[in-house]
Each structure stands twice: as C-alpha cells, then as structure tokens.
Structure 1
Amino acid sequence: MEPRQTPLRIALLFNANKSYDRHVFAGIGQYLGSTRVDWDLFLEEDFRCRVQGIERWRGDGIIADFDDPTVAEALTRTALPVVGVGGSYRDATLYPQGMPYVATDNAKLVRLGYTHLIDQGLERFAFYGMPPAPDHRWALEREAAFVELLQADGREPIIYRGRPTSAGGWDVAVEHLVAWLEALPKPIGILCVTDARARQLIQACLLAGIAIPEQVAVVGIDNDALARMLMRIPLTSVIQGTEEMGRTAAHLLHQMLRGIDHSATRIVVPPAGINVQASSRHQPVRSAHVMRARLYIRQYGCLGIKVEQVAEHVGVSRTVLEEHFRRELKQTVHQALLQHKLESARELLVKTDLPLAEIAVRCGFTSLPYLYAVFRREYDMTPREFQAEARRRDAVQTATP
C-alpha cells in the first residue's frame, strides 16, 4: 500500500459573512468534491479575513478576495502561489500584476439588470450605489458601467450613493434615502449595487408609501438568500457567476501547485442569470388606490388579510376600490389576493421541499384541502403534480446544452 500523501495546506482569505464570498467558497468546495485534490483548508473560525502575519504562514497556496486592498497589499509579500478573486476593471492597470486573477464581470452584471428594467417598459432609470472607499472599487465600477450604458442610449443617469450603514447613523441615512426616492420622477427602475442596498431601498419605499414596482421597480445584484428572507416583497436580483469563479480559482491554484505558470492569467466570469421576482415586474397603473392596495397585498397578502382590510388600508370603501381594480386590472381585489397567494405557493413548491400543509399556511390558505381545490380550479392539477411538472421542466432545461 502506498503511503498517504500529506494534504496541501491552502488558505482561503475571504470575509464569508458576505453572500458573494460564500458562493465563491461553494465553488471551491465543488472543485474539491469533483477531483482527487487533497487540500487542508485554512480559514478563520468566524469566517473573517485577517491577513496580519500571513507572510509567515507555512502553507502551500492561497486563494484570496482582492476586492479588499489590504489583502492584495499583504499578499505581495508572500512567495506562495496566490490566486486573486474580485471584481473586473475597465482600466487593465488596476488588475494585480504577476498572479492569476478571477473576476466577476461588473459591466455585464449591470447590463443584465438594466436590460431587464428596459424589458419591463420603463424609460427612466437610477442607480443606488455606495460611497467611495478603498474597498468599494467594485461598486464604483458598477456605477461607471451604469453611467456608460445610459449615456450610450441617450438617457440621463441618476446616481445616489447614500451613506454608510451603521446603527448610529441609520435613521439619518433612511431619511436621506426617502427624500431622494420621493424626488425621483416616476415610474422609474432602480438598479442597486448589491442586494443589501436593494433591501434598504425597498424598506425606504415601504416607509414612504411608494408602490413597488408600479412607481419604483427594484433590481439588486447577488441573489442573496438571506436578503430575500428579510424582505416582504420578493427581490429581483442578478446572479453573479461566483460558484464558477470559485471552481476556476481552485483549478488555477491546483495547476500552479503542479508547476504550471499562470502568472499572466486573467479570467472574467459573466453573470449566471437573473432571478426575476415581484420587485421589478412593472405594470403601468394610473390609479393611486390600486397602487397602494397592491403594495399592501404584496406585503401582507399571505397573512390572511381580507378585501375589507385592503380597502381600509387604502382609505376608500370596498365598492370604490373594486371599481378601480376592475377598470385598471380587469380583476377583483379578491382575485388579486388569491393570485398573490398562488404565486407565493408556486414559488415554494418549486424551490423548497416544505410539507404541503406548511406551504398552505405560509401562503395564507385556510387549509390544505383549500389549497388543493384552488390549484385544481386554476391549473387543473394538484399542488404535488404542479411541483413534479415544474421540476421536470427545470431538469430538462438544465440538461439541454
């Protein structure tokens, strides 16, 4: 029997409290699981990135987040093989020199979100970015890409960078964000530099009573499951190719450890797609009553609210609200409520393995038999049959080259 080789020691220098970094980790893990690579991975217990003393670390290789300039600076002093991961740049001189680099394509991320908003029939667009900072270079790249796209189309870009988020300054930051939103021409599509920024924007819209997506259609970047969980209105988000970045970075390091020179390699990874949800599905509506009602339904429709509660929130009688809904949407308020609950149920059926009884409760149906009855009436199939058919179609699309 051959003696077992000692695993190679590889450091992962990322702040994995961010969705972006966690997905890069997932890609690295996929590469390790699909090859015979034997790596002993080092990362901080709390998943923070600390580089102090890294030049003295006795390992074999490093994969690191180069969006943090302190990381990039620290790793210029190490003789170990290093693969950098980060954002793409329009200026090629900003890329790290003498080492391989795997980048997310900032320009294509922005283009995908912008194109989606155009497809919704919108004609005005804004960008919610971040204040300049050494570790926000990627955010400024996305902002610049947005400006270039709009100017090329003969449109005037509207930019708001906001304020840094902190508990002490949060109230002031929200006040300024609300004031900016209220002053915008509407309807308008807003592309946010991250899902975290998009969540703040949606909260500010709800606080100000601004209808989403009738007045403001919102798109984020990251497809962050945690951010989606913390919002009442499902967020449309551009999906970065982060798992592909992780797989690519691991592959490059694997080859470097075998003596292959990748010092001049630079790979830019395009987005993986866009997850379209309610926050950007813009539908022109003239009635302020309908906009206010639909915003309320999107927030609380799965909590068992009734038509009377919607009318009370809007501040008109049920008769008046029904008339506005028939004129604008060719449906009743009850039908709008039921449509929202069905959309939520379909989403859970396709993307989770929750028990059907729990899905019924989460989506505001009074019982599981009622959920079955509505599905048979609307789709001529049971919830379980709908789930199986949706997953079969998804498997066929995934397998199709």
Structure 2
Amino acid sequence: MFEKRYRLNLVFNANKIYDRQVVEGIGEYLQAAQCDWDVYFEDDFRSRVDGLAHWKGDGIIADFDNPDVEALLKDSTIPTVAVGGSYQQKKDYPRLPYVATDNAALVKLAYDHLKQKGFTEFAFYGVPSTRYSRWAIERERAFIEQVSSDGYYPNVNLGLCTSAELWETAQNNLENWLDNLPKPIGIVAVTDSRARHLLQACDHLNIMVPEEVAIIGIDNESMARYLNRTALSSVEQGSKAMGYAAAKMLHRMLLGYAVDESLVVVDPVGVTARQSSDYRALNDPYVIQAMHFIRHNACRGVKVAQVVDYVGLSRTNLETRFVEEIGCSMHEQLHMTKFYRACELVTSTDLPFDEISRTCGYPSVQYMYTVMRKNLGMTPREYRISSRLGKSSIEGISQS
C-alpha cells in the first residue's frame, strides 16, 4: 500500500548559496510527492567524500561540479543523479542522469541586461582556472563568445583565489585592472562574491558605481546582498528547480523507470536589478557627479544644497543642467531615490517599517506611509504582502 522507505544521500557543500538552494528544491519535491524517505546530509554542511564509497543507501543526488565527488560516483552501482553546470561540449557531461544550470543563459541574461543599459564596453571578472572551477570556465567562454559576436572587445580578468593570505594582493591587482579599463563599462562577475570584490575595489578607487562602472553578479544571494553600500544586481539561477528536477528523476529511477543518461538543463529565473547596474547614459559630467552623490547619500537625509556643494556649481546652473539631462529636479530625484530604497527594503527584507523609515532618511514612519500610499496606493504592509504574492508593481514610476 505504501511506497518503500528509501535512504537518500545528498552530497553537497551547503556553505554555498547555490548548493543550499538545490537542496531546498529537493526538499520541495519530497514534500510535493509525499516521499517518506530517510535523508542523510552532513551536519557541518560540507560534502565529505571519504565515506561515499561505502554508502549503502538506495539513492544519491550529488554535486558533480566537484571533480572529487564525480570521480567517486561516476561508476556508482547505486542510483545516482548528478547536479552541476552545463557544458558547451556534450562529451563533457558525465554518463549519468544529469541536471544542469545553463551557464551560457546565465551569462547572456547578465550581458543583455548591461547591453540594454547602453554600454558598449564590457568586462568579465571570473575565478582562476582549476579543476574545481569548470563551471566558471564555461561562463567565461560564454561571455567571450557573446560579446565578440556583437563586435565588442571582451575584457577578462580571472583574478586570484580568495584567501586571507592573498586578500590584499588580490584586491590590489583587481584595483589596477579596474583603473585601466575603459569607462563607462559594464562588468559581469562570475558570482555575487566576486561582484562584491569589484564593488569594494571601486569604492577604494573612488570609481562611481554605476555611473562609470556597472556591475552584475550571478546567484542573487540574499544573505550578503547588503554587505556593500551599493545594492548588487544579480542573475538568479534556477537552483531550486534543479533540486526539484533531480529528486523527481531519482524517484523515477527508484521506481524502476529507465532514465539513463537523461539531461535536464534548467533555465535561470531572471535578473534582479538593483543599484549596481542602474546605469543611465549621461553626457554632462556635473550631472553625473550629482547623480552619484544622490544615489549614495539620499537616504542620509541630504538636501539639494549639499548636492550643490559637492558638485561645486551654482544652484541655478546645476539645477538647469540636471533638469535638462534627467527630466526632473534634484529635489524630486532625492525623493524618488529614497522611495525606491524603501520599496526594496519593504519587499526584500523583514525589517520593521520604523527601521526602514529611519534607514531611508524619512522623518517618521508615518511620513513613509504617506509617501507609499501616494505613489503605490497601498501601505508598506500591504505592499510587502502583495509583493510576496507576486502582485506588486511599481512600473511607470521613474527610477532614473
């Protein structure tokens, strides 16, 4: 009457956001299919390979981006589903049922996002080529091919491996590369982590983001999105969908269906655009400076007079230039910058609304409520609820 109670081993490094999301997708399938399985998962979240050869369970779902895991499991007699990155060459896939993230599609979404902003200069910041970074090599290749096919030059830097010992040297090398890139330029980072290195280096060099350098990462990692002052744009992988597909595939194998060498390539979810890529092509250098100051200081409660002092022009002169380039006054731009920051925090965090109002420079939470009702027709609480139901929209309100 009831299905057999299978024993499942998940071989992932859940210290990484991608792996955690894949595991979450596996769990969603087990709930949806009402699978009452015993799941083994390392307590400290690392994917230990020592005991894999002696695993006596019924099935395995494993991260084959790790070549050590692949070497141990590629000839496994236990039903195994591999999860990892996509490859340009079919011969590079393991001869096992395989669920892949589409590396070329991830890069294309990031590149197209920057291209649509009006950039004609592009760069890629990756990771050093090792046997553990095959997925990154695929993304680098995809970037070079896509940019070159459009007639642009692909600036590429793989940097150094991240470690406490090499951190200062790595950042110095990154700063030298950034300093010598043509500007303005859009940069695709191979992961959100590498994108954060870029943001920090730009801050040290006083390079304006996104006015001179626009940055987009890959992962859309919520845990670290606000570690830098500039909120990071990112491409979200379909990691949970990958986990769901892998669990479904393994379930079919356990029930006796043939899925030998099946390949499922999962599309990315899409781009989440934030401040780091919110580029607008501007011609007036004084307006560029004013926009940069507003982006980074509006939520600190600065006024138009402080923008004028920063740029160093008369108020009348700067206001005229600003309206001609942007289409609104500096006061209106300060207001909308705070408003969009508040909307982002309302929808992407669980922060109390009074804390959001302080963070965004509003004099009171009541004032923030008034602003959101005026612009959205709903309170912050209603907006948070509707956004999580997929019903919110602030289209038609300029965020330039």
Please give the TM-score of this superposition, normalised by the length of structure 1. Answer: 0.90
Q: Secondary structure at the match of 1:284?
A: coil
- Aligned-pair CA distance for 1:293: 4.0
* Paired position in structure 2 for 1:56: 54
Give the number of aligned pairs: 392
Q: Return the alpha-carbon distance in structure 1 between the equivalents of residues 248 and 289 of structure 2.
A: 51
Does structure 1 conserve the Cα–Cα contact (< 8 Å) formed by 2:9 and 2:59? Answer: yes
* Paired position in structure 2 for 1:143: 140
Matched, 1:304 2:305: no
Q: Return the alpha-carbon distance in structure 2 between the equivalents of residues 290 and 164 of structure 1.
A: 38
Which sits farther off after the overlay, 371-380 or 172-181?
A: 371-380
* Paired position in structure 1 for 2:398: none
Matched, 1:259 2:256: yes
Of the three residues 164, 187, 190, the one matched with 1:190 is: 187
- Aligned-pair CA distance for 1:20: 0.7
Does structure 2 conserve the Cα–Cα contact (< 8 Å) formed by 1:234 and 1:279? Answer: yes
Q: What percent identity do the matched residue pairs reach?
A: 46
Matched, 1:201 2:174: no
Of the three residues 312, 334, 339, the one matched with 1:316 is: 312
CA deviation string 1:342-399 (max 9, x = no partner)? 0011123334454332321222212012213333554565445555665666289xxx
| Counterpart residue identity of residue 79, structure 2 | P
* Paired position in structure 2 for 1:113: 110
* Paired position in structure 2 for 1:344: 341
* Paired position in structure 1 for 2:279: 282
CA deviation string 1:122-163 (max 9, x = no partner)? 111111111101110100101101111122222221111111
In the alignment, structure 2 segments of 5+ residues that lack a partner are 394-400
| Counterpart residue identity of residue 312, structure 2 | V
- Aligned-pair CA distance for 1:51: 0.5
| Counterpart residue identity of residue 62, structure 1 | I
| Counterpart residue identity of residue 92, structure 2 | L
Matched, 1:26 2:24: yes
- Aligned-pair CA distance for 1:167: 1.4
Which sits farther off after the overlay, 256-265 or 58-67?
A: 256-265
How do 1:2-401 and structure 2 match up within 5 A?
Answer: 7-76=5-74, 78-97=76-95, 99-311=96-308, 314=310, 316=312, 319=315, 322=319, 324-379=321-376, 382-384=379-381, 386-387=383-384, 394=391
Q: Return the alpha-carbon distance in structure 2 between the equivalents of residues 217 and 321 of structure 1.
A: 24
Q: Return the alpha-carbon distance in structure 1 between the equivalents of residues 347 and 308 of structure 2.
A: 32
Q: Return the alpha-carbon distance in structure 1 between the equivalents of residues 387 and 9 of structure 2.
A: 40
* Paired position in structure 2 for 1:399: none
- Aligned-pair CA distance for 1:72: 0.3
Q: Return the alpha-carbon distance in structure 1 between the equivalents of residues 104 and 269 of structure 2.
A: 13
Shift in alpha-carbon separation, 1:339–1:270, aligned structure 2, 3 A: same
Q: Secondary structure at the match of 2:99?
A: strand
Shift in alpha-carbon separation, 1:36–1:205, aligned structure 2, 3 A: same
| Counterpart residue identity of residue 186, structure 1 | K
